[in-house]
Amino acid sequence: MFLLLVLLGVFYAGPSFQQTPLQITVPRKIWSNATEDSVEQHVAYIITIEGKPYTLQLQKQIFLPQDFMVYTYNKQGVFHSSSSSSSKVMMQCNYHGYVAGFPNSLVTLNTCSGLRGLLQFENISYGIEPLESTAGFEHIIYQIKNENINVPLLEENDTDIWYKNLPYKSHIDLEEKIMVSHLLPRYLEMHVIVDKALYDHMGSDMTVVTQKIIQIIGLVNTMFTQLKMTIVLSSLEFWSDKNKISTIGDANDLLHRFLAWKQKFLVLRPNDMAYLLVYRNRPNYIGATFPGKICNKSYSAGIAMYPKAVTLETFSVIMVQLLGLNLGLTYDDLNMCHCLGATCIMNPEAVHSSGIKVFSSCSLKDFKHFTSKSGVECLQNQPYVTPVYKEDAVCGDGFVEGDEECDCGPKEEYPMCKFKNCCVMETCKLKPSAKCGFGPCCSSSCQFYKRGKLCRPKASEECDFNDFCNGTSHECVPDTFVQNGESCRKKTAFCVNGLCANINDQCKAIFGSGSKGASFACFEEMNGRSDRFGNCGVKKDSFKPCPFEDLLCGKLVCTWPKRTLFFRSDVSVIYTRVYDDICVSLAHRIPVRPGQRDFTFVNDGSPCGPKMVCSHFTCRESRFLMQESCNATEKCHGKGRCNNFNSCHCNTHYSPPDCKRMAFLSGGSYEDGHLARPDKVTTRSYIATRKNWLILGFYISLPFLIITIIIVIKWNKVKELCNVEEMQSEGSLSGESSTSYSTSDHST
């Protein structure tokens, strides 16, 4: 077992840092690339430190996913989860950058309500916070000085155990240049738990504590930028009522207790690593974890101690060191490792120093070696951390938006793009010879697929139809399906929008066998939330609550009988325990397009009571589904079914529009794309073509007709000659017979 215990020592005789006198500054925004409806991706501020102006160049720092959740407990110990609007705002406020004119500088700020964060120069760090209750935009700024006391932070034996298990160490060439550009982006999704004591120490307020933890993870990400590693704070959990496990004792015992609790209770919360942050006045260790076990679910846990006298800057270094150990790094040997900055992060003394900190040559080699091995695939899973409020088209993001005609994604993905021969990468415009650059009916040769190519298979055998490319567009034709209200499933359900609506089947289709529609109590719990995981639609940019009688017609809520997590890249998942059931609900990470089906809601037509069905988030009588505008028996002559365009979808061997005419293979409808709808021009063309074929057929058959007539005439003449000869022959025979008879008679 590679268990690491990091010593903090007993140097807390007094405060571990000193703050210089406070200064007042009024930050002034001088530049931003934001439009009226978009989020600021880049921004610049001028602040004053000791009478001198400094320009902060900032860009958005994204490490909170769109489904970021905060979990809390009330006084009765009942578990709650929230994805509030304040959390969404926090997602847009995190920035990092540098101070103009100071290459060796780093800035990490949160701009939600004023500027709050850290400015780091080579050997000096400044904190900045908004000054409360002031008329202007005044902020306080102060220098942070950490004491530098030489106390070992790592036990000798544990260092040797971890170090000796890296056989490549003896072959490292320290002069070898590490090319950071060769590193690939990596992502670590982390679930952070704050114990009761730390929650109280940070203010006992969910919003305040959330802000502080986000600030710490922001500092952590600023340091990990060098390794192209993003620490994604997937979710936060506050033990706000009481600790769920005992937090007393040494870090080793606490780590094992936490690991056992994690494996039992965190199964349904997605994460690559879980950390428990524990408050201690004077801990003996800064934490405990399992080095190099980042993607091993049996060991993906850690403990981080938060001492009383510590700054957020120092604690962020503690977190980076612990996470670094999880990622295969070791503490630096100052005789072997080269440091490009004043302080290297994996130097045990880094927690005592101020200013910027970088990873050493040893850390870069450790990380490169660790990520080249198998078993670390969890770091390659990129979560959805794109800003929610993105409005402007961005060329190179893989989405065709605004006035773009194509978009093959980032530069590194361009060679794999199906439409790379169609699209100009820099402008997202079509090349001159291209007709299209995206869509299911666009070929890799940049031309429209011919009419009749399947582009949308039917989703239901009874209630949906196949759809085809029409030969004139890169998009598939509008969805065609059986008209709403027709019966299905042996007349026990109704077709609605192409599906035979049934909650149990809908759950099974999404979550697999074993899942079914949840109990009414689960629907009541989820659809009473009025958030993106439980609602009855959206009205004026806010989620509509579900009235009691419509609870079964809002978000789809299913049972989850499995012990493994459900994963699907385009949705976020929330699990809720109601009585003895675990209920699960989904929300799209990226809003669905207008007109696109949202499978996270109960399908219209699903039963919600006796002779009652869901329709547009409302439980209504089933008779409202019926449509009388198309009667298949009369309009389709019993040889087809009515579709959602009130037209006939004919059976095979019958042709639209009325299914009266026989055809070799036809079937279908004019709306599904595989047949061209005849208009006046095509009708005239058809008549003219038919006339031409008749004329051509006449002229081709005329010679054969003449030859046939000649043969018949000749044959008749031959027959006549034969008949004459036959008559003459018969006459001669008759004469001879008479003469013979007369002679004989005379003799007598």
Range in 113-117, 175-179, 250-254, 694-698 with the lowest mean pLDDT: 175-179
- Which of the two residues, 77 and 537, has the higher pLDDT score? 537
Instruction: State the pLDDT at residue 742.
Output: 46
Q: What is the pLDDT of residue 557?
A: 95
For residue 370, what is the enclosing H or E element? helix 361-371
User: What pLDDT, on the 0 to 100 scale, is given for residue 703?
Assistant: 82
Does 676 have pLDDT greater than 50?
yes
Centre a 10 Å sphere on the Cβ of residue 571 and count the other Cβ atoms it contains: 18
Note the pLDDT tens digit of each residue in 296-335. Answer: 888 889 999 898 878 888 899 999 999 999 998 988 888 8
The pLDDT confidence band at residue 393, using thresholds 50, 70 and 90, is low
Amino acid at residue number 635: K
State the helix-helix crossing angle for 312-326 and 206-224, rounded to 10 degrees.
60
d(CA 190, CA 65) in angstroms, rounded, equals 11
Residue 82: pLDDT band (50, 70, 90) is: low
- Average pLDDT of the residues in 79-93: 57
Which pLDDT belongs to residue 304?
92
Instruction: Report the pLDDT averaged over residues 276-282.
Output: 89
- The whole-number pLDDT of residue 693 equals 63
Q: Give the residue, 453 or 252, on which the prediction is more confident.
A: 453
Nearby residues of 99 by Cβ (< 8 Å), 6 or more positions away: 54, 55, 56, 57, 105, 107, 119, 121
pLDDT given at position 746: 46
Tens-place pLDDT, residues 548-576: 999 999 999 999 888 777 877 678 888 88
Confidence of residue 730 (pLDDT cuts 50, 70, 90): low
The DSSP letter of residue 438 is S
For the chain, what is the largest distance between any 2 Cα atoms, rounded to a whole number of angstroms?
178
Fold of 4-148+185-380: Collagenase (Catalytic Domain) (3.40.390)
Nearest-angstrom CA–CA distance, 748 and 745: 5
Q: Looking at residues 208-214, what average pLDDT do you find?
A: 90
Q: Per-residue pLDDT tens for 326-354? A: 998 988 888 888 887 778 999 888 888 88
| Burial grade of 331 (CB within 10 A; 0-12, 13-18, 19 or more) | buried
Tokens of 273: 């690593």
Q: Which residues contact 403 (CB under 8 A, 6 or more apart)?
A: 393
Query: Across the strands, what pairs with 480?
Result: none
pTM, full prediction: 0.52
Please say if the pLDDT value at position 206 is more than 50.
yes
Q: If you average pLDDT over residues 491-519, what whole number do you get?
A: 87
CB-CB neighbours of 371 under 10 Å: 19
Question: What does the DSSP assignment read for 126-193?
Answer: EEEEEPTT-SS--EEEEEEEE-------B-HHHHHHHHHT-GGGGG--TTSPP-GGGPPPEEEEEEEE
Task: Give the residue, 176 or 507, on which the prediction is more confident.
Answer: 507
- Burial class of residue 62, CB neighbours in 10 A (0-12, 13-18, 19+): middle
User: Mean per-residue pLDDT for 412-440?
Assistant: 90
| Residues contacting 438, CB < 8 A, separation 6+ | 400, 406, 407, 419, 474
pLDDT at residue 203, rounded to an integer? 86
Per-residue pLDDT at 176: 39
Averaged pLDDT of the chain? 79
Which pLDDT belongs to residue 131? 78
* Residue 81 banded pLDDT, cuts 50, 70, 90: low
Position with higher pLDDT, 674 vs 270: 674
* 127 or 21, which is more confident: 127
The continuous run of DSSP H or E covering 18 comes out as strand 17-19
| pLDDT 10s digits, 680-712 | 444 444 445 556 666 777 778 778 788 888 887
- Give residue-wise pLDDT tens across range 579-605: 888 899 998 877 776 666 788 999 888
Question: Quick one: average pLDDT of 627-654?
Answer: 87
Out of 3-7, 59-63, 483-487, which region has the weakest mean confidence (pLDDT)? 3-7
**Most confident listed range (261-270, 279-288, 545-554, 725-734):** 545-554
Phi, psi of 187 (to 5 degrees): -140, 130
Amino acid 480: pLDDT: 93
Q: How far is CA 63 from CA 86, 238, 387, 728, in A?
A: 16, 19, 10, 119
Q: Would you say residue 174 has pLDDT above 50?
A: no
pLDDT digits (tens, 9 = 90+) for 221-236: 999 988 889 999 988 9
* CA–CA gap between residue 588 and residue 603 (Å, rounded): 16
pLDDT band at 172 (very low <50, low <70, confident <90, very high): very low
Residue 626: predicted pLDDT: 67
Q: Which amino acid is at 188?
A: L
Residue 159 has pLDDT above 50, yes or no: no
Q: Report yes or no: 491 and 542 within 8 Å, Cβ to Cβ.
A: no
Confidence tier at 389 by pLDDT (50, 70, 90): very low
Give 649-686 as a DSSP string: EEPTTB-TTTS-SB-SS--B-STTSSSPPP-HHHHHHH
Task: Indicate the domain borders of the chain.
Answer: 4-148+185-380, 484-625
Query: pLDDT value at position 293?
Result: 87
pLDDT at 424: 92
In three-state secondary structure terms, 545 is coil
